[in-house]
Structure 1
Amino acid sequence: MPPLPTAIVELAGRQHRRGEAASRLLLQNRAFTFVEGYQLRRRIGRIDIHAELARIRPEDRGFAYEGAALAAGLADLATPRRGSWRNGPRGCDTHLGDLLAGPGAGFVHLIHVGAGWSAALLPWRVVHRRLALDPLLRWLALDGAGFARGFFGGPRWIRRLANRPDRQDPVQAVLWQGVGRSLWFVECGDGFGLSRQIERFPPGLRRELWAGVGLAASYAGGCTVRHLEQLRTLGGEDRAALAQGAVFAAEAQRTAGHIPAHTEAAVGALTGVSGHTAATWARDSYESARALGPEIESYRWWQWEIRRRFTAALG
């Protein structure tokens, strides 16, 4: 596995917006924790990885698991495939299977996202075919691939992406959600900067970008009440997508055992309901989506159902 120095995720070095000092410091720390998780998994391998990750602050631990998942995914891609999700994470004789076992089960969403970062180095189809991932949550890996491309590509690459046509492809839609998440870091939580970036994209892609913004703002944090109100206004007609991203964040945090104050505040502002109510929307509709099968259309139905519930709650 290649080394991943902290310099590679420094926001200033990637020419990301400077933003407000508090937001920038927090988001930079999240990125550094991702690298810490990667380096831990790279250095100690499978042995005691959960014990080492448990030393990281709870509010940052998900990012460390995400980084560790990138390292584990690369290790699996470098070795013959030896497991299948059909046997469950404990039955997968893979590096990702080990990471998903035990305490890692609480970070199942972040681990799938982190595994998708490997698509920044390898073709997505190779990653998708080779890694033993959950049949439905595997599409979160595509979100992770979009985030990696947006984060490392930076503002210029994102502006070039905006000139691509909207192909109405569900796989591309999920990839754009990851790009939307990366915009939260690229623009350092600046709502007007985010809006300007998103307005450059074809109308059909904007709602997916806002979904990614909602997830990043709610999970990573880095925004005040004023910022959240600004986001809700800027999302405009795509507010349901923005809310859906926040719901995903609430479910990921609750699965890890606790919805922190910054996620609770963001989810409340963007959805109008509590974090636990939002997480229940995600959990209930997830079970229905699983029953539909493992294809991308089932994953998209899951997201649309959450957006429908949000719209119904608005009255």
Structure 2
Amino acid sequence: MTAVGSVRRRVFGIAEPRKVFDRPGFAPVAWSRFAPVMESLALGYNVTLEDSAMAVLIPKLEAVDPVLHGFAYEGAAMGLGVLDVIAPGKHRTAAFAAGPGARHMATVYVGFGLALARLRRRPEKYLTQLDPVLGWVVVDGYGFHEGFFARRRSILRQLRPSHLSDTGRELYDQGIGRSLWFSTGADIALVAEAISRFAPGRQVNLWTGTAMACSFAGGTDRAGLEQLCRAAGAHRHRLSWGAAAAAWTRDLAHNPTPHTDLACEVLGEISSSDAARVLEKTRHELVGNPPSASYRTWRETCIPRLLAGTAGRPA
């Protein structure tokens, strides 16, 4: 650890990940269920603040259980994002997403969003540096941070930043939905109750985020996933997208898990490999057509293909 790194960790680091789950509104079971997730993220974040040289950082991230690599890389991107803000000019996070972190692009962008929320920066100002489709995920990370660390403002009072665009508000709520999965300890009844308190127009993106979190991180079984389908009601179709997005993220990282496979089967009635293939094919189509390249277009193009079972066949 460098001397400067020691100061950065002391000022900006996460000293005791366990204490995050002791805050009001977190279910007692949340820590025991998701401790490895939070510990992996905190490790990635803290070691990046200590020394962000890739030759030092990457071996530490790769030493984490492969199932948790996405969270470790998310934490690393959060650390790089902090450095980008306090010592601008190098575009560290964008370079990380395009280079050593490319297999974890989605979680890297989420981590960048966490950093921007932590330092009170407007996330959409940074989109020009990022992938035209996946870059919007920084706003999801921003929303997750607010749902997790500023619960009173974002969930109890249901406030949302006024500076966000229409698409930004959708991704912000998606991040809030992801945070609910972790803070409730994967208690679907508690998630459904929390979402029901929000304005009807916001609920679809909250359910989307919940599905992404449960599909990527796990935390429930087949019966729980079936309960999630029932609880989502009219927003059931967005669960398929959430599960598919998790499958694509894990496929890109080459770290599949049984809980993601099961989530795709139950929430989307499709295999995780087929779901990932739909998303990747569609993303390439959009990147090749810059005027239509956006996260919203990616989602809205993929959902009918997922629901129609067109995986692996011409759309």
**Structure 2 length normalisation: TM-score?**
0.86
What fraction of aligned residue pairs are identical, expressed as a percent?
30
Q: 5+ unaligned residues in a row in structure 1: which ranges?
A: 83-93
Counterpart among 262, 273, 276 of residue 273 in structure 2? 276
What is the identity, as a one-letter code, of the residue corresponding to 1:300? R
Displacement, 1:178? 0.5
Partner of 2:240: 243
- Partner SS for 2:220: coil
How far 1:189 sits from its partner (Å)? 0.6
257, 260, 265: which one aligns with 1:263:
260
Distance in 2 between residues matched to 1:127 and 1:81, nearest whole Å: 17
Question: For 2:186, what is the secondary structure of its paired residue?
Answer: coil
Measured in 2, the distance between the counterparts of 1:3 and 1:168 equals 30
Deviation at 1:227, TM superposition (A): 0.8
Q: Please point out which of 288, 301, 308 is paired with 2:304.
A: 308
Instruction: Flag the 1:258–1:294 CA change in 2: closer, same or farther, 3 A.
Output: farther
Cα 1:108–1:164 shift into 2, 3 Å: closer
| Match of residue 103 from structure 2 | 106
Query: Do the aligned partners of residues 311 and 242 (structure 1) sit closer, same or farther apart at CA in structure 2, a change above 3 Å counting?
Result: same
| 1:288, distance to aligned residue in structure 2 (A) | 2.5
Flag the 1:160–1:7 CA change in 2: closer, same or farther, 3 A: same
> In the superposition, relative to structure 1, how do residues 311 and 162 fare at CA in structure 2: closer, same or farther (>3 Å)?
farther
Structure 1 residues 163 and 127, CA gap change in structure 2 (3 angstroms): closer
- Deviation of the 1:260 alpha carbon: 0.9
- Quote the offset at 1:292 in angstroms: 4.3
* TM-aligned CA deviation for residue 96 of structure 1: 1.9
Determine the C-alpha separation between the residues in 1 that align with 2:76 and 2:244: 24
> Partners of 1:276 and 1:186 in 2: how far apart?
29
Task: Say which of 40, 49, 63 aligns to 2:57.
Answer: 49
Label 1:123 to 1:131 Cα distance change in 2 as closer, same or farther (>3 A): farther
What displacement does 1:224 show?
1.4
State the 1:240 CA deviation: 1.2
Q: Which runs of 5+ in 2 are unaligned?
A: 1-7, 311-315
The residue identity in structure 2 corresponding to 1:195 is: A
Output the TM-score relative to the length of structure 1. 0.86
Question: Within 1, Cα distance between the matches of 2:159 and 2:33?
Answer: 28
The residue aligned with 1:152 is 149
CA displacement 1:72-131 (0-9 Å, x = unmatched): 01111222324xxxxxxxxxxx42245335542211111011001122233443673388
Compute the RMSD of aligned alpha carbons: 2.6
User: One-letter code of the match for 2:20?
Assistant: E
| In 2, Cα distance between equivalents of 1:48 and 1:78 | 21
Q: 1:31 aligns with which of 20, 34, 38?
A: 38
Tell me how far 1:298 sits from its aligned partner.
2.3
